Structure 1
Amino acid sequence: MRATAVERAMPGLRIAREYRRAWLWPDVRSGVVVTALLIPAGMGYAQVAGLPPVTGLYATIVPLLVYAAFGPSRILVLGPDSALAPIIAAAILPLAGGDADRAVALAGLLAILVGAFMLVGALLRLGLVTDLLSKPVRVGYLNAIAVIVILTQLPALLGFTIERKGPWGNAVAIADAVGAGDVAPLAAAVGVASLATILVLRRVRSPLPGVLVAVVLGMVAVAAWGLEDRLAVVGPLPQGLPAPALGGLRWDDALALLAPAAGIALVAFTDSAVLSRTLAARRGESVSGNAELAGIGLANIGGGLLGGFPVSASSSRTPVADAAGSRTQLTGVVGAALIVVFMLAAPGLTRYLPEPTLAAVVIAAVLTLIDAPAVVALWRMKRVDAALSLLATVGVLVVGVLEGILVAVVLSLLTFVDRSWRPYRARLGRIPGRRGYHDLSRHPGEAVPIPGALVLRFDAPLFFANGGVFADWVRAEVAEAGPEVRTVILAAEPITDVDTTAIDALLELDDSLAAQGIRLVLAEVKGPVKDVLRRYRALGRFEPDRLAPTVGAAVDEVTGTLRGDLGGAPGA
């Protein structure tokens, strides 16, 4: 059933219409599990951004609800993010001048501007950037994200803190801390036990979610043995509901925040789009980049209007939802609702939630992102793709998520250009008793050349970078074939486009061959290519008798037969 215009604008309506009863428990269960992470992450990143902890909860609740209605991804979990928090602080704190209320208002305005930039991007259809994310890039990105998240969670798992300096810096700092004996035995015991519980229950396919079991056991242990003074815990929740907090703003505040908002929008969308597209592909789903831009943009605007700050997809909480079995956006709705319930009715519940257990939950979830078999498979199929995947991983780890993705995308495009610049080329012939025309080099001893003719195939569009390569190759084949060749037949079906530079090369090749008494025939030229030749006024050069409908027809004319003699389209 086709989606209506309203459902295309609000994908959540379509999900609600198609919702299945079997999805309900996985979504509720995942929402309960993710809530345990949403609360400390929201409060913590709010403090990093220089804002009151409660704003981190507002920046979680509202965007989750808005995205559930307008977001296209069934799995993405939005919320405050570690990559955005320092940028937010740098943008708003100098303007706030130490006034906490003004800082909250500026953060809300910043989120609204971020959302506005994203909506403009959606209208301009800039979401097409996600089409540049090939499978090797996506695999490499997820592998890198898993490593990054694990390195950020290991200190909490083992009971110490480090100054975050990027993946490599974190790895060195963790090794130094472990070597210096900074590991807290109690925290490490709780964290490792929680991680073991999750992994073992996952391994035995327990009907009880390992994440839920680990969280409950951790809270019970802290409460029963009074460990909250000896172990890092989340602590009680602040109270209150999301509400507008945009008082005292001026037009010059908006102007001052435009540049930071544009930067945050770029980082938030790129990171979110890659995560969304990659996880959707793993689940056999597809996500529109433009719809993603609009969904995340509206989520930011909603959060900014109600006391929040800029958010993006979470690379730690989203895998947790995925690993817990989330099926739809209802997971985010359940998470948002539970936060509200806890804030109003049971703010003290999180007092006993151990941070090492939360770290174990995140590590167990992102372990599912690591896909070494996919890299091995890429290596077996095409080593260039495997190298791109590894470069994407290394790039994200070394220079950052956004920069690493851009490097991998650029390398992918360069690889495509290289393949188009030097594509596969073949001289074709017949195999007696078999239809079509076949690559002589792939069928030695079977395929035989066409007497008096040279049938060639160039497997790429003709453009400025390969026009000369194409012409030189044809000349070399003619020279190698010898003087008996009087006709060159180009099997042009793989040539899907031609630019002006390549047309010049083609016409020069035609002149060169004509000077040798050789006739160039183009077979199976596609309509769009003919249109380009016509606009360039080059089609008149090739009269109808030099534009064969099929390779077989061209060969018939050369050999003087009345039919294709098992001829047809070029074969393998």
Structure 2
Amino acid sequence: MTGDGAHRALPGWPPVLRHTRDYDRRWLRGDIVAGITLIAVLLPTGMGYAELAGLPPYTGLVATVVGLVAYAVFGPSRTLVVGPDSSLSPMIAAAIVPLALGSDARAIALAGVLAVMIGIVLLLAAVLRLGVLTDLLSKPIRVGYLNGIALTVLAEQLPGVLGLNRVESDGADPFTGFVQDVAAGIADWRTLALGGGGLVVILLLRRLAPRAPGALLVILMAAILSAGLGWTASIATVGALPAGLPAIGIDLALFDWGDVAALTPAALGIALIALADTSILSRSISERDHRLVDPRQEMIGLGLTNIAVGVIGGFAIGGSSSRTPVLRSAGGRSQLASLIGAAGILVFLFAAPAATAWVPAAALSAVVVAAALALVDVGTVRRLFRMSPVDGLLCLTATAGVAVAGVLTGIGIAVGLSILALFIEQWRPYRAELGLVPGLRGYHDLRHPGARRIPGIVIVRFDAPLNFANAGTFSEFVRRTLERRRDRVHEVVLAAEPITGIDTTAVDALIMLDRRLAETDVDLVLAEMKDPVRERLRRLDLAGQLADNMFEPTVGAAVDRFTGRLRSDIAAGRDEAGRTGGQSVARHLGGQDATRHPDGSTAGE
């Protein structure tokens, strides 16, 4: 659906109305299982990313619950999970910690206001229709992004699954940390048994019993085993939750309105990362479901979600690349699973805050690793290489960039290379000399079997807009085509229908080409040029150096005019070279009437 389509669909907004109307009751079991499974992942990640953002752990739970509910109402994606994010949390900390002056209460107020500002930025971007920027995220980039995210998650979580010592990597990328973990060796066989064994169970159930709630079963089994065998005191566990409902809302008394200026750069940067990360994740998973997600609706949904989170007292959130695959691999088909996850957090806060103390961290890591493996799409990468090696390399570049340099940098590198590839394609587009094929109407590439040149006339096609990047290529192509001709050429016809645009450099190149051809008694004709392009050409040709009679409505009309002029010359006996050429054209076009094709149609048809 396009942005305009989204605008027309506003009477059915918010998206929750459409999702509710289209809900399939067969999804209910999968959504319940996925929601319960998601709870075990939401709890520790929410608290952990809050600490990473320089905030008390409970604010992560606030952001998680409010974010899940708000996005279920306003978000267009059926299965995207939003929440605190590892790429956003460090930026939040960098923005608020220097201003908080060691006060948790002021840090919470600053984080809430920052989330509201980020939401406003996203809404303004939606109003300005900047969602078209996500069109730069081509399929190779989206596939590479998901593969890169999978590798990143694997590098972060595998040490916990394998029972490896965690090594501080001083801000190094996840792969460097993983190598250091491997070098440190296996530290605890019990962790390996719970984590590695859990991963094996999940993968086996995924293959042998796809409908079984493998992730949930592993978490429950691991908690029972660790508690029954007395391992909870000697291995890492998720830990107990804070009891009760935390304080909500922003204490504006702790906020100085002068802080808005200080937070603005961070709000712009975090909004950009959140939009890029969420849009590409939402678009990628929607494609796998054969659905379309409007980027503008995604911006609106994410913007309103962040405003709601900020007002309640949380911090900025985005699409989760680790929790989304958990929901999907557990059978979730709609936002109902996210709502169940949010409700589960509230239940634990009131009823059983200490229950998660029995869940081994290794089992949780196994669930995340299994979900990350489901993101890997090797088949599409192979298909891309078969279809286009350039697209395959772009895909691998996105994967490597995201995995090693981070989400934004990796996507930026891949987008930059995509733009470069597009520029090269515009610089050296497909171009061809055209001729006639016996039995076929129209004019065809000389690569076509049986295609023949028309004596005395050169017909060329250039399959790209004419601009500064390819104006020289176009002129050189015409020159080389003329050099290959052994007969006397009187006219060059540009089949201009594929040309969808022209700039000042290209206009100057056409004027120069027309002059050089005229010096050798060769006419330049522009045939089938689109009206908008022709009008722009006229506007840019300020001195009127291109004659009115050089334009023809079709290639056939240009050929008709050329052959008609040669026949007139023959009849008048004025041009011996023209007589030879005209008779040759007549024979080539199929008899005495030079305007007829071999199939009987006229050249202008």
TM-score range, shorter chain: over 0.9
> What's 2:86 paired with?
82
Name whichever of 103-112 and 355-364 sits farther off.
Answer: 103-112
> What's 2:279 paired with?
273
> What's 1:356 paired with?
362
| Map 1:320-331 → 2, pairs under 5 A | 320-331=326-337
Q: SS at the partner of 1:251?
A: coil
Q: 1:559 Cα deviation (Å)?
A: 3.6
2:76 to 66, 72, 92: 72
> What's 2:145 paired with?
141
Cα distance between partner residues in 2 of 1:447 and 1:106: 72
**CA gap 1:139/1:165 in 2 versus in 1, 3 angstroms:** farther
Cα distance between partner residues in 2 of 1:8 and 1:435: 49
1:552 to 556, 581, 584: 556
Q: Deviations over 1:435-462 (max 9, x none)?
A: 332221x235x11111211111111110
Cα distance between partner residues in 2 of 1:46 and 1:7: 37
| Map 1:507-518 → 2, pairs under 5 A | 507-518=511-522
> What's 1:406 paired with?
412
Q: 1:569 Cα deviation (Å)?
A: 10
Name whichever of 154-163 and 375-384 sits farther off.
Answer: 154-163
Residues 1:28 and 2:28 aligned together: no
Cα distance between partner residues in 2 of 1:492 and 1:215: 65
Residues 1:392 and 2:398 aligned together: yes
The alignment covers a number of residue pairs equal to 568
8 A Cα contact 1:317 1:362, kept in partner: yes
Cα distance between partner residues in 2 of 1:295 and 1:150: 29
Q: SS at the partner of 1:229?
A: coil
Q: SS at the partner of 2:258?
A: helix
Cα distance between partner residues in 2 of 1:267 and 1:365: 23
Cα distance between partner residues in 2 of 1:150 and 1:281: 23
Q: Deviations over 1:506-544 (max 9, x none)?
A: 122112112211122222211221221232357976667
Q: Deviations over 1:203-258 (max 9, x none)?
A: 11343121122122112222333322122111222220562132421212323222
Cα distance between partner residues in 2 of 1:502 and 1:93: 54
8 A Cα contact 1:88 1:107, kept in partner: yes
Name whichever of 36-45 and 258-267 sits farther off.
Answer: 258-267
**CA gap 1:18/1:568 in 2 versus in 1, 3 angstroms:** farther
Q: Deviations over 1:288-325 (max 9, x none)?
A: 22222221121111111112111111111112122223
> What's 2:575 paired with?
none
> What's 1:162 paired with?
167
RMSD value over aligned CA atoms? 2.4
Cα distance between partner residues in 2 of 1:121 and 1:476: 48
Q: 1:281 Cα deviation (Å)?
A: 2.0
Cα distance between partner residues in 2 of 1:438 and 1:242: 74
| Map 1:56-205 → 2, pairs under 5 A | 56-159=60-163, 160-164=165-169, 169-205=173-209
> What's 1:233 paired with?
237
Name whichever of 62-71 and 471-480 sits farther off.
Answer: 471-480
8 A Cα contact 2:143 2:395, kept in partner: yes
2:49 to 36, 45, 49: 45
Residues 1:369 and 2:388 aligned together: no
Cα distance between partner residues in 1 of 2:183 and 2:422: 46
Q: SS at the partner of 2:494?
A: strand
8 A Cα contact 1:551 1:568, kept in partner: no
Q: SS at the partner of 2:232?
A: helix
8 A Cα contact 1:87 1:264, kept in partner: yes
Name whichever of 71-80 and 176-185 sits farther off.
Answer: 176-185
* TM-score normalised by the chain length of structure 1: 0.93
8 A Cα contact 2:115 2:315, kept in partner: yes
**CA gap 1:101/1:569 in 2 versus in 1, 3 angstroms:** farther
Q: Which runs of 5+ in 1 are unaligned?
A: none
Q: Deviations over 1:106-139 (max 9, x none)?
A: 2111211221222222222222221001111112
Name the % identity: 49
Cα distance between partner residues in 1 of 2:443 and 2:343: 65
Q: Which letter does structure 2 place at the counterpart of 1:310?
A: A
**CA gap 1:548/1:539 in 2 versus in 1, 3 angstroms:** farther
| Map 1:309-458 → 2, pairs under 5 A | 309-440=315-446, 442-443=447-448, 446-458=450-462
Cα distance between partner residues in 1 of 2:247 and 2:380: 43
Residues 1:493 and 2:497 aligned together: yes
Q: 1:178 Cα deviation (Å)?
A: 3.4
1:303 to 309, 329, 333: 309
> What's 2:573 paired with?
none
Name whichever of 476-485 and 312-321 sits farther off.
Answer: 476-485
8 A Cα contact 1:493 1:525, kept in partner: yes
Q: Which letter does structure 1 place at the counterpart of 2:251?
A: L
* TM-score normalised by the chain length of structure 2: 0.88
Cα distance between partner residues in 2 of 1:123 and 1:351: 46
8 A Cα contact 2:493 2:555, kept in partner: yes
8 A Cα contact 2:72 2:339, kept in partner: yes
Cα distance between partner residues in 2 of 1:15 and 1:382: 37
Q: Which runs of 5+ in 2 are unaligned?
A: 565-593
Q: 1:476 Cα deviation (Å)?
A: 1.9
> What's 2:576 paired with?
none
Q: 1:545 Cα deviation (Å)?
A: 5.3
Cα distance between partner residues in 2 of 1:486 and 1:457: 17
8 A Cα contact 1:177 1:183, kept in partner: no
Cα distance between partner residues in 2 of 1:486 and 1:521: 11
Cα distance between partner residues in 1 of 2:513 and 2:422: 25
Q: Which letter does structure 2 place at the counterpart of 1:31?
A: G
1:526 to 521, 525, 530: 530
**CA gap 1:373/1:509 in 2 versus in 1, 3 angstroms:** same
Q: 1:79 Cα deviation (Å)?
A: 0.7
Cα distance between partner residues in 2 of 1:520 and 1:144: 52
8 A Cα contact 2:527 2:554, kept in partner: yes
Q: 1:50 Cα deviation (Å)?
A: 2.3
8 A Cα contact 2:560 2:603, kept in partner: no
8 A Cα contact 1:523 1:548, kept in partner: yes
8 A Cα contact 1:155 1:162, kept in partner: no
